[in-house]
């Protein structure tokens, strides 16, 4: 249809919203922002750029989940008086303590509730 596609970052449109948020006021704010001569538009990303961004986001999500799980495991062990150094590199020591059935610092019920601790390796 011959239209020129231009992307406006939301933070540039926000100052032009006059009242409550709904579709009509959002559209009006977008039109107002687009007509400004000094408006800066975002570049359109290629499919390859979007693929790289999705890869980075997926990795970031996995790192955050791993950190969350390690912190939860450290917290549960802390309730039984087992304290280890902070960091993902020290989780092996904590796993060894959890899996040590001879010393029995953790009751079997709690140990089974912590799941398969070796999954962190």
Mean pLDDT calculated for residue range 48-62? 97
CB burial class (10 A; 0-12, 13-18, 19+) of residue 82?
Answer: middle
Cβ partners under 8 Å of residue 120, min gap 6? 66, 69, 70, 73, 88, 91, 95
Q: Over 70: is that where the pLDDT of 110 sits?
A: yes
pLDDT digits (tens, 9 = 90+) for 44-54: 999 999 999 99
12-16, 20-24, 100-104: segment of lowest average pLDDT: 100-104
Q: Over 80: is that where the pLDDT of 93 sits?
A: yes
Residues 78, 83: Cα–Cα separation, whole Å: 6
Residues 24, 26: Cα–Cα separation, whole Å: 5
The answer to whether residues 10 and 31 touch, using CB atoms and an 8 Å cutoff, is no
Mean pLDDT estimate for the chain: 86
Mean pLDDT calculated for residue range 78-91? 86
Mean pLDDT calculated for residue range 4-33? 90
Cα radius of gyration rounded to whole Å, the chain: 26
Percent of the chain with pLDDT over 70: 92
52/117: higher pLDDT? 52
């Amino acid at each position: 249809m011959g239209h020129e596609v231009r992307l406006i970052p939301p933070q540039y449109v926000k100052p032009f919203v006059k009242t409550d948020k709904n579709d009509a006021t959002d559209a009006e704010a977008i039109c107002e922002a687009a007509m400004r001569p000094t408006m800066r538009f975002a570049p359109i990303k290629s499919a390859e750029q979007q693929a790289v961004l999705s890869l980075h986001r997926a990795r970031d999500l996995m790192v955050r989940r791993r950190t969350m799980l390690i912190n939860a495991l450290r917290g549960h062990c802390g309730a039984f008086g087992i304290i280890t150094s902070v960091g993902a590199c020290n989780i092996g020591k904590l796993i060894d303590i959890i899996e040590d059935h001879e010393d029995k610092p953790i009751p079997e019920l709690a140990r089974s509730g912590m799941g398969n601790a070796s999954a962190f390796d």
